Amino acid sequence: MIRNLIFDLGHVIIDLNEQAAKDALQQLGEQASIEAYAISDKKPEFLNDFEKGFLTNDEFRNMFRNFLQTNNNDEQLDKVWNAILGDFPLERLTLIDELNQQKKYRTFLLSNTNAIHIPEVENILRKNSQNQYTTLQTLFEKVYYSQEMGMRKPDAKIYEQVLKDNDLKAEETFFFDDNFENIQSAKSIGINAILIIPKEKEIIQFFKKDIENNWSFDNNL
């Protein structure tokens, strides 16, 4: 029986717009345009380090600035860096909120993210929900960010930490993520997991309301 639900953030709860990110990089100049595609093919290691919390915001900005060979200021860089962030579809927020309130399942967020994205993510959350939701912490029992844990998916240790912290059994836990490697890593330690495909296989498709109007998880949907 599934008792625990762990959700990724990008492409699972919030939409991401890779094209907008590339367009924003291209506006910084020719070299940035070239690097936009290098980033999409393989992340430079300093990006992973930033997601693990190994770099301060200023250290990251300086590395990002040097990588792109640009002289743009911090505000301009942050705007480009955050360009990938889309909107929170209200039906997803409602689902997560109601699941959390019903207490039938324990709900968690586990995201590879960084200290520049999260403030903007929560600005978007407040805007999209008309201030009904002011922070992601109100939507889940607990929120886990890679930069606060010192590790990132697909490292199996990050899943083990979430299980250990909350006394969860892997076989009673279901994980939703849009990255195949992350899914495979979770499965390797016994967590049930499924790959979310934007606009094709969404989290809302795995839940239905029962006769009491409460959400129930159904992996067969």
Q: What is the pLDDT of residue 35?
A: 56
CA 71 – CA 44 distance, rounded (Å):
19
C-alpha distances (whole Å) from 136 to each of 57, 65, 116, 154, 174 are 21, 30, 15, 22, 19
Burial label for 32, CB within 10 Å (0-12, 13-18, 19+), is: buried
What letter would DSSP give residue 165?
Answer: H
Please say whether the beta carbons of 106 and 3 come within 8 A: yes
At the topology level, CATH places domain 4-15+86-217 in Rossmann fold (3.40.50)
Q: What is the pLDDT of residue 70?
A: 85
Please say whether the beta carbons of 62 and 69 come within 8 A: no
Q: What is the pLDDT of residue 21?
A: 85
CA dihedral 110, 113, 114, 119 (to 10 degrees): -80
**What does the pLDDT look like over 85-121, one tens digit per residue?**
999 999 999 999 999 999 999 999 999 999 999 999 9
Q: Quick one: which of 106, 177, 108 has its CA closest to 137?
A: 108
Q: What is the pLDDT of residue 109?
A: 98
pLDDT along the chain (221 residues), means of 10: 96 94 76 55 83 98 88 92 95 96 95 97 97 95 98 98 98 97 98 95 93 84 48
Please say whether the beta carbons of 27 and 20 come within 8 A: no
Q: What is the pLDDT of residue 24?
A: 85
Domain residue ranges of the chain, discontinuous segments joined by +: 4-15+86-217, 18-84
